[in-house]
Chains A and B, each alone.
Chain A
Amino acid sequence: MIKLSKLIAVIMILVMTISLVACGGGSSNSANTVDPDADVSQSNGSNDSKDEDTEPQEKVKIKFLSLSADENRNNIRENYIKVNVEKEMPHVEVEYDLGGGGQDYANKLKAYNASGDMPDVWFSEQNLSSVVIATGNALDLLPYVKESGFDKKFKMKEIVSPDKDGKLYCVQPGADQYFTPRLWYHKDIFEEHNIEIPKTFDELINVCEILKDKGYIPISIVGKDGWTPNLHLLQTMIMIEDPQVAIDLVNNETDFSNPVVKNALGRIQKLVQIGAFAPGVTNIDYGPAMEMYTSGEAAMLAMFTWELGNLEKAAPDTDFFPWPTVDETVDPNGAIQYWGAPLSGYLAWANTENPKVAAEFAMFCATQDALYYNIEQKAPTMLDTGIEIEGMSDLMKRNLEQFENAQLKIPSLWSAVFNARTSAEIATLNSMLLTGEYSPDEYIEAINPIWAENFD
């Protein structure tokens, strides 16, 4: 018996030793590892190494964090970046990190930022980009942009102009500058129930009540983390009374105590209280909000024009009307808000192993982004991709026409959010506002100190 035990023990030791040796020896000849100091040209295959002909070309690994909660971002990643990177950047192997959307994405990026171990390239909006830049984690892309001539492709040079510190941290497709929030609606539903397009806010309330009685959700919005009020609804509600107050708020020349802002908060509260939004709106994410509208469950949708192409495909009876103003003295077409912010786009990590490849990949992503909008959405971009946009739909033409004709173009309030705390607190407060039980006074009391700190 003892001999048998000893024999088993010896066999076990041998098996474990062999398996340890077998499992532990694979790292020395990994095809994907690369010398951090290696020049990009080497990975492109331009060196004279004798091994070049005999060994497979080493690929540079790039970790790319992207938004994955909306269809546009998914299409850009899956159908443009993934497909074209193999053709245009064969020396690059991309590891895709899907970060979700909204606050989930923000938290993920902030956690990366806090750890100091960032993805090589990522997409982020202004408020998040500011956080990363402040901690020194963003790469200055200016030398690479100049070297490649990427800056010469932009119709609006401000997009590729360096920041105050002389550095350029973000490259973007320049589609954002054309994006504006619209109130989309199903023409068929309105016609079926003989509903007139509302011109004033009171008429909008009336329309919502009629639609609710007919069994529709009047307006579909993204309520999770207060997304729609964060990104445009609050500003829209200000602009329908006095656009100048929105400009003043963006420039910190007024605060939330301004009576126009208070009225705007009250209007959102009223919309919630009359049931203009879906039940449980505070838990509705981007995808379900879109689905709610395209399925015909909701009659209207408060959303940016970046969804125009998707809406035309998924709900062909879609049209839009200008946001109804508080009264007829305010021109609904006079002012428009636009989404684009200087730091919304693709950034690269300052400590990436291959800064040149990371910068090239960021520019590649911006280009693919622009291509997607030019080709799929028939939408213009400030980045000239060489694509002639043909067959622009009537809806897109009218959208651009109204955009161009607006005398006042106001940047998004969200682009004036400079730190993580402000964006997080605004998201919390807007989520509370969507319960319908949080008063404008409570909101103002909570937001004013945070807003003041935002500009310190």
Chain B
Amino acid sequence: MEKYYRNKFAIFIFAFPALLLFTTFVVYPVFPEIVISFQKHDGFTSSGFVGFENYIKVLQDKTFWKSNMNTYYMAFISTFIGLPISLLFALIMDRLDEPMRRFFKASSLLPAVLSVTVIAQMWVAIYEPQWGLINGILRKLNLDHLAIPWLSNEKTVVPAITIAFLWQYLGFNALLFYAGIKAIPATYYEAALIDGAGFIRASLKITIPLLQEMIKYVLIISVLGCMSQFAHVRIMTAGGPGDMSRTVIYHLYYKAFSASDFGQGCAIAVLFIIQCLILTFIINQFVAREKIEF
């Protein structure tokens, strides 16, 4: 195997098709985007280069910062509340009997395979102010004062969308964690059992430390998934009321397609790419730096 790895030419030949596709469809489109971000562009015609004007306007735009706040709020909740819950589900799933485990696996996967439109519409119905499930329950409990329009209230709209998004991927992340748990050799647990370790102790001392690489993977896809959050916002509130629930990507879409300002839209995209690269770098630097071998 070592001999093959030393043959750089062979590696290049085998990697070339994938590299070509990646460069053509992922790397290359970034460059025209950077060029447009320095132009006054309506999406159809360019009125010439304007230097850093688009970037200055974007950075002075309150909505851009608000969209960033909303995006980071979603990423924060997803990371610090969503992922621990998914991990807990995975740990519980590992201890269940086979029929129950199968049921849990199927129900975990269902929201993730359903269309975002279906999920978002379902949550719109749940949050509906007059006949929605949440307000219906609150009214039954004589808590009418708490029955508010969840998706039209400045304070609740972003958490409401975050819950819908979180709910959809909670089970999927749990399945990823579960796959990671299954890869840990049973001998570690057998040894722990002999030493008298219970579920909690075994989880804390064996499962979680050995699951680091999977945690890192789920963390990256989860954070970047939250960062590029668009569909739930589009369907549930269209970024509203006003601009209150816009995420960075939704704001980008608004600038480029609603306001026909592709220059600013591309400037937002470039800033977004930089943010994502920084976040990925941070996660790579601080989570699971060393490769774990069983």
Contact = CB atoms under 8 A, between A and B. Distances in A.
Contacts of B149: 279-281, 283
A233 to B, nearest CB: 16
B242 A428 contact: yes
A419 interface: yes
B240 A279 contact: no
A434 interface: yes
A106 interface: yes
Contacts of B261: 421
B151 A106 contact: no
A114 B152 contact: no
Contact of B152 (A137, A279, A428): A279
Interface stretch (B17-25, B42-50, B220-228, B286-294): B42-50
Contacts of A110: 43, 257-258, 260
Contacts of B45: 135
A20 to B, nearest CB: 20
Given A135-B44, A435-B152, A283 B240 contact: yes
B104 interface: no
A378 interface: no
B42 A107 contact: no
Contacts of A131: 260
Contacts of B257: 107, 110-111, 114
B67 interface: no
Contacts of B237: 282-283
B241 A113 contact: no
A58 interface: no
Contacts of B217: none
Given A113-B44, A279-B149, A421-B259, A224 B129 contact: no
Contact of A431 (B44, B129, B130, B242): B242
B43 A435 contact: no
Interface in A410-425: 419-421, 424-425
A171 B147 CA distance: 48
A432 interface: yes
Contacts of A438: 242
Contacts of A435: 152-154, 241-242, 244
A431 B240 contact: yes
Given A135-B44, A279-B152, A283-B151, A107 B241 contact: no
Contact of A280 (B44, B151, B242, B258): B151
A200 interface: no
Given A114-B44, A131-B260, A421-B259, A103 B154 contact: no
Contacts of B43: 110, 113-114
Contacts of B259: 420-421, 424-425
A225 interface: yes
Nearest to B261: A421
Contact of A420 (B129, B130, B152, B260): B260
A429 B259 CA distance: 13
A111 B154 CA distance: 29
Given A135-B44, A421-B259, A438-B242, 16 more contacts: A110-B43, A113-B44, A135-B45, A225-B240, A279-B129, A280-B130, A282-B237, A282-B242, A283-B149, A420-B258, A421-B261, A427-B258, A428-B243, A432-B244, A435-B152, A435-B154
11 contacts: A103-B238, A106-B258, A225-B240, A280-B129, A280-B150, A282-B241, A421-B261, A424-B259, A427-B258, A431-B240, A431-B242
Interface of A: 103, 106-107, 110-111, 113-114, 116, 131, 135, 137, 224-225, 278-283, 419-421, 424-425, 427-429, 431-432, 434-435, 437-438
